[in-house]
Structure 1
Amino acid sequence: MRDDEHEPQTGGQSDAKADGEGKSEADGTGKSKGDDKAEQVAALRPTYQADLAFGLDRFFEPPRTTCPWCGSARLGTRLRTTDLIQHKPGRFVLDRCQDCRHTFQNPRLSAAGLEFYYRDFYDGLGEKQLGNTFAGRTKMYEQRARALLPFDDAPKTWLDVGTGHGHFCEAARNVHTGTTFDGLDFTDGAELAEQAGRVERGYRGSFTELAPELAARYDVVSMFHYLEHSTEPPRELEAARQAIRPGGHVVIEVPDPDSRYARLLGRWWLPWLQPQHLHFVPVDNLRQRLTDLGFTVVLEQHAEPHDPVDLLAATWLALDNTAPRDNLPWLSHPPNTWRRTLRGLLLLAGVPLLILATLLDRFAVRPLSHRLGVSNAYRLVARRD
């Protein structure tokens, strides 16, 4: 599942308005939503504590000594951080290649680590909140779909890779009427999207493994905020080439590691999203790799895919990490009343800062994002020749 289905709402499971802080609404059974969450957390805590009892080493692969994009051994550390969203234990390092500028997590999460750190982010504890966030981003999804119009205004078949629950496909039908949308995801989101009617067919599994059976089946393959989650982005691009018929298009959107915000905001820049984001590909690298695979890049956008949340997200992350922790199952004990009260007071005191950051994001920075070099994402459309 991609992270916008896209980018998580700032705060994740630790939202200042999360159930369990202060009074909460009853659900009609005499039990509050806060009680339901507390029970859910309590039920999950033994499993998480059992996982953590074995230590964190098994969640990481051995560190790399060469760049996974170009093979260079000239590496330097770009960022050290923690899990600022879920607050699961661990420290994470992003290295950057001094030759091709590719940034990657090093050491990278293992299969066990990916399972542990993804758990309860898009599903479980996080499913309802993120599902509501994704469903409310129709205009953004339609804008993404319109990027293809100058090059193919009537595609017959479209595969959305990393589709999540299929909300992009549902919105894109408003732009590309008559197009059949399928979705692919390694979680059960694709199956749920099919059941909800948002996609015609939902494939669950690895794109690189499913690509042979999808060969030359699609006019369009889209990857919106998906490649940064992949363990091997070059193989995902090869799978896209295999699934697209000659003359078809791939549409890719990823965080821009060359954004000035990445440097100015440091670990508080939301698109770093550690530990889930494994790779950050500079636009020149992605253009060249697509060209090498037989694509022609027909569109490059920076201002249009910019999501104006950087200052808001950074402010929230700083506040959230200053305040005492919420009730989370990977913590050994729930917070006491005093800590819950202190958390609520600190977050309430930060509301004016959150409002100011929102206004700056939307009205001061957004119109100038590309000119200022702070666009947090870029988008490429490429034709398979």
Structure 2
Amino acid sequence: MRQRLATTLVGIVGLALAGATTAGPAGAAERTETDARTAPVRTATAPAKAATVEKIANRPIAFEVVNTNETSALCLADNRPHVLRGRLVGPRSKVSGSAGRLRVNVLVHDAGTGAWFWNLRQAPAFDYATQLARRGETSLVLDRLGYDRSPLANGHATCLGAQATMLHQVVQHLYSGNYRFIDRANEDDQPPHATHVVVHGHGTGATIAQLEAAEFADVAALVLMSAPTATPTGQALRAVTDQLGRCVGGDGYSAYGATPAEFRSLLFASAPAKVRRLATARRNPTPCGDVSSVLAAVGSATLTSGRVEAPVLVLSGGRDARVRRLGRAGAEAMFGGSARVSTRTFGKAGSALPLEAGAAGVRETVLRFLAGVRPTL
């Protein structure tokens, strides 16, 4: 019975995800796929030079949020207050709260990973947040509720609609400065206010980011990596089947990938062995409320995608084991209300783009896109 229910749910998810690619002409996504070497992001402004950025700060921070669902993705959460923790990574003068315009990049992780995905300090060449900081960018590396430094006792007590709502609360707190340094030295040590926020999402985190941008309209831009709104592969559907089957048993949390080897095969195609080992050692179980609400979240993100007005960058891996590439035509059809839609495919990469062998190219593409983003305040 448990397996039949899980299989049925995944079948529905598969149909919903497959339907997400039908917004444009048939076959458009496949016809427009290009390799990263031949499809630069269209922007008039070059990224910041890699030159002389000051010392990087990496400070722990905390946000008070309410785990409630205010999106169109129908799912239930506990409606209780929680603390989300993360780290603010950027040039020291910006992280210290100095005056002036400040862009904050909010980095939203996938199922089964965590904030470490964006801030893998044991492998500096693949530390997305720190490498962006060396180019003058400031990032919030956030543990979503139910992961690492943002614990949740009952994994059934949240869902992806609530995750998008809490992301909205975090964005608003960044604008107002209503959050705190955990290691605050004195009363004058206050965190900075953002003048504009760009949300970067990977995998399920991309669905959360997309849903937040569509329904709350408070971000300056979106960077979507390996987004599940593209067509899922059979391997991806089998992984979700396994997760759902174990969640029906009531344990509250379920691993993404039944084994460490499967986890690696879902995320990676070209990452160095050291990166794969580090990621495997840090993988997290997924809150079952997130797993069981995948259908609702992906469906709502797809249906509301035309409401995203901010510029959108869609990044894909040519060897992604989980989703097939959306393509430029498909992305432009999906985000028809966006001010600017850019796409890029990295031919040799799998799903985990910031951790794959072409990670430097991913960052350069993002930096070029960010150079054209304007403040919302």
TM-score (structure 1 length as normaliser): 0.31
For the pair shown, the structure with the greater C-alpha radius of gyration is 1
